[in-house]
Amino acid sequence: MRHLPRLAALAATTAWIGAAGCAHTTTPNAPVAEAAPANTFEARRKLASELMARGDWQPAFAYVDELHRERPDDAGVLVLRAAIYREENLLDEAEADLKEAVRLAPEMASVRAALGILDDMQRRPVEAEQQLRLAVKLEPENAGYLNNLGFSLFLHGKAKEAIVYYERAARLAPTTRRTRTNLGFACAAQGDWHRAAREFEMGGTPVEAKVNLGFAYEQHGDLSNAYDLYAEAARLDPKSKRARSNLVHVAELLGRPAPVMPDETNAAPAVRDDGTADAPREERQP
């Protein structure tokens, strides 16, 4: 679904939002000081990034669009705006911004990383891998870019190679849960279930770890192990909708009754979790 009119309308509110975000107020008829030579451009860029990190796309767009009008040749701003377009599923607009960003700053790693994510979304795996590899080459110590490359490789059936990049990302950022979870799924795809379980444990709560491992077994076709893990997760946290819904689904496939959990008598019907909540994910860095 396209949301361009809604985003475009935000540009008209930018000045108001910028004023509202100012920490200082003036009284009527009071003298107003001239703007300092060092303007608020970088502060507003940072604020826009923080809004994007929270998923507040509309106010973030207002700031970013204003920044772009002030500095149309700033490749970093174009990357930010492209990320918002991408999240709003305006892929053509995102691609146009990123192509312009490449023209302006061909050696900027964030541009290449963003292009790689977009190429994956548009089902261009060869181009995605090229761009993500270039981002890693430009910033080899960026754990997010390493994770993104691993995700793309895993997505296209290259789990063994994906593990190499997930491991590099994990060494740089050992407590990042997303990387640990992604690494767990890649290890499971390679049949290393012991390590997969360990990575899932480092990537989430005990309940999340069992649900993730169960989902990996389910994807592998081992429904019996998946059933047992979902049941363990549901016993650990009877209120976990994800554990219960996955358990019910696998129980139906196996022709088994799903065990009744405490306080479940009046529970709402389970909704199937397709695993996307904890399946391998990109670290989408603008």
- The per-residue pLDDT for 263 is 58
Q: Are 203 and 211 in contact (CB under 8 A)?
A: no
Using the predicted structure, report yes or no on whether residue 153 has a pLDDT greater than 80: yes
Using the predicted structure, report yes or no on whether residue 143 has a pLDDT greater than 50: yes
**Domain-by-domain residue ranges, the chain?**
205-262+269-280
- The per-residue pLDDT for 259 is 79
Mean pLDDT throughout 106-111?
A: 97
What pLDDT digit, counting tens, does each position of 221-252 carry?
Answer: 999 999 999 999 999 999 999 999 999 999 99
- The per-residue pLDDT for 264 is 53
What pLDDT digit, counting tens, does each position of 158-213 carry?
Answer: 999 999 999 999 999 999 999 999 999 999 999 999 999 999 999 999 999 999 99
What superfamily in CATH does domain 205-262+269-280 come from?
Tetratricopeptide repeat domain (1.25.40.10)
What pLDDT digit, counting tens, does each position of 3-47 carry?
Answer: 444 444 333 333 333 333 334 433 334 343 344 345 899 999 999
- Report the distance separating Cα 147 and Cα 118, nearest Å: 15
Using the predicted structure, report yes or no on whether residue 274 has a pLDDT greater than 80: no
